[in-house]
Structure 1
Amino acid sequence: MDAEEILRRYNAGETDFRGANLRSAHLQGADLIGANLRSADLQGANLILAYLSRVNLSAAYLVTTRLCGAILNQANLIGANLSDVDLHGASLQGADLRRANLTLANLLDANLSDADLRSSNLSGACLRGACLRGANLRHEKRIYDPANLRGADLSGADLRGVNLVGADLTKADLSYANLTETNLRGANLNQANLYSSLLKGAILSDANLAEANLRCADLTHGKLERVHLTRADLSGAVVTMAILADARLDKANLQGSNLTAVNFTRADLSRSDLSFATLEEANLCEAYLARTNLTAANLTRANLIRAEMSSANLTGVNFKGTTMPDGEVRSR
């Protein structure tokens, strides 16, 4: 079936084109709204600016297909192979992309708001500037694996409120991304780049952020219980009023960060660099601060009851109003 035939049959009222061979077909700007292209072969086809809302492309083969600026709102792409597809500027609002293969896909500036991306594979994909607000990337419990976003380029992406529970974001680029109130519980962000990202109110409990770059990130009111931040770089970050109870921050770089009123109860901050950090009114009850660098840190009115501070560098620390490990309150 060639491009002319499918358009002729569609215009005549036919919509069922299951399993059609449209490899390398020229369908730029075509109107195929609501068509059934389940299991169709569209490899290398030109669908630039095509109208494909509500189209059924489940299990379709779309490798290297050009879909720049195409309208795929509410499209069914379950299990489709979209590897190396070009979706630059495409609209996929409310599209169903469960278990879709989007490895190396170009989703630059694409609109994926309210899309279902559960168990999809976005490894190596470019989502720079993409909108994923309200999208669901959470794994389907007991059935499928979490979304694979390893090495994905998500720099500057709008991920506000996105469900990324358990997602694999190892080495992903999330610099300047908006992750406000995003759910990243249990996600793997090992060595991820979150430079200057917005994580206000984000849920990162039990997440792995070992060796992640969080320089200048905003984690205000973040929920980071039991988070793994070993060797992470949080220098210059704003973490005010966040919860980091039972967190691992050993050997982390927190130099100059704003940690005002942070809950560090039982957190491991051993050998971390907290020099010039603001820890005013921080709760460090039972925290482990052995060999920690606290040079010139501001611990005004902080709570250090039962904290372990052996061999810590306390040069120039401001302890005014601080409750020390033995319960003594320092006057200066």
Structure 2
Amino acid sequence: MDVNELLARYSNGETDFRGESLSGINLSGADLIGADLTGSDLHSASFIFAYLNRANLSKTNLIGAKLSGANLSQAELINANLQDADLHGAILYGADLRGANITLANLLDANLISADLRNVNLAGANLRGACLRGANLRYEKRCYDGANLRGADLQNTDLRGANLNGADLSRANLRKANLSEASLREANLTGANLSGADLRGIFLTDAILIEANLSQTNLSNGKLERANLTEANLTGAQMNWALLAAAVLAKAKLNKVSLKSARLNRADLSRADLREADLTEASLIDAYLGRAELRGANLTDANLAKAELSSANLAGAELRGATMPDGSIHD
């Protein structure tokens, strides 16, 4: 079917185009609000500035489609194949993309506010400057897996309040991304680059951040209970008032990090580099700091009750008012 026939049928009130062969069709600027394109072949179709609000595009083939600037707000794209599609600046506000394949797609500056991205495969996608505020990428047992964002480029992306529970962000580029108040419980961020990202108030409970780059990030008020940060780079990070109970920070780079009033009870900080770290009033009750490097660290009024400090290097550390492992107060 060509574009003229499709638009003529639509203008006459027809909305059922299920299973149609529309490969290469040019629907730029077309109004197809409410159209049902379930199972249609839209390979290499162009939807630039098209209006597909409330359209049903589930199980469609949109590989290589040119959707730059397209308006797909509230569209249903369940299980759609958008591999390598050009979605530069596309509006996908509130769109339902559950199970969609969006690998290697260009989503530069795209609007994905409140979009449903559960079980979406975004591996290698370009999401620089995209807005995903309030987007849902969560993990649901027996229903949807977390979104696949392995190696995705999310630099400068707005992910405020996004639900990324269980998402795979391993090796993803999240430099300078805004993830404040986002939830990443049980997410995999192994080797991810979060340098300079805003992570204030973030939920990283049970998340995996092995070897992740979190240098210069703002994790103040973050929830990182039981998070695995083994060998993570947190140099110069702001982690004031962060909750890190039972977190694993073995061999982590924490030099010059600010952990004022942070809660590190039962945390594993073995062999961690905490040189010149600010741990003023931090709680380290029952924490393990074996062979930790604490030269020049500020532990003023910190609570180290029952903490393990065997072979830790405290040369030049400030311990005024600190509660020591034996319960005594350092003068």
- For normalisation by structure 1, the TM-score amounts to 0.98
| Residues 30-69 of structure 1: pairs in structure 2 closer than 5 A | 30-69=30-69
Aligned residues: 331
Q: 1:198 is matched with which residue? A: 198
Matched residue SS, 2:7: helix
Name the stretch that deviates more: 47-56 or 270-279.
Answer: 47-56
Question: Structure 1 residues 59-68 or 8-17, which shifts more?
Answer: 8-17
CA-to-aligned-CA distance 1:47-76 (integer Å, 9 cap, x gap): 111111111101110000000000011101
Q: Give 1:101 shift.
A: 0.8
d(CA) in 1 for partners of 2:73 and 2:304? 54
Could you tell me how far apart the structure 2 residues matched to 1:71 and 1:215 are? 37
Distance in 2 separating the partners of 1:134 and 1:277: 34
Is 1:137 matched with 2:134?
no
Distance 1:205 1:145 in 2: 18
Is the counterpart of residue 75 in structure 1 residue 88 in structure 2? no
Q: 2:326 is matched with which residue? A: 326
- Give how far 1:164 is off: 0.8
RMSD of equivalent CA atoms: 0.9
Provide the rounded CA distance (Å) in 1 between the counterparts of 2:185 and 2:154. 18
What TM-score comes out, normalization by structure 2 length? 0.98
Q: Which amino acid aligns with 1:23?
A: S
> What is the CA distance between 1:210 and its match in structure 2?
0.5
* Higher alpha-carbon deviation: 297-306 or 46-55: 46-55
Which residue identity is paired with 2:192? A
- Give the unaligned 5+ runs of structure 1: none
1:143 Cα offset (Å): 2.4
1:144 Cα deviation after fit: 2.8
TM-aligned CA deviation for residue 298 of structure 1: 0.4
Identity of aligned residues (%): 60
Contact 2:299 2:322 in 1 (8 A): yes
Which stretches of structure 1, 4 residues or more, deviate above 6 A after TM superposition?
A: none
Aligned to 2:290: 290
How far the C-alpha of 1:159 sits from its partner, in A, is: 0.8
String of CA shifts for 1:126-185, please: whole Å, max 9, x gaps: 111111111111123212322111111111111111111111111111111111111100
Q: Is 1:307 equivalent to 2:307 in the alignment?
A: yes
| Alpha-carbon displacement from aligned partner over 1:260-317 (angstroms, at most 9, x marks no partner) | 0111101110111000110000111111111111010000000111111111111110
Secondary structure in 1 matching 2:6: helix
Q: Deviations over 1:239-277 (max 9, x none)?
A: 000010111001000000101011110111011100011
Q: Indicate whether 1:266 and 2:279 are aligned.
A: no
In structure 2, C-alpha distance between the alignment counterparts of 1:314 and 1:17, rounded to whole Å? 72
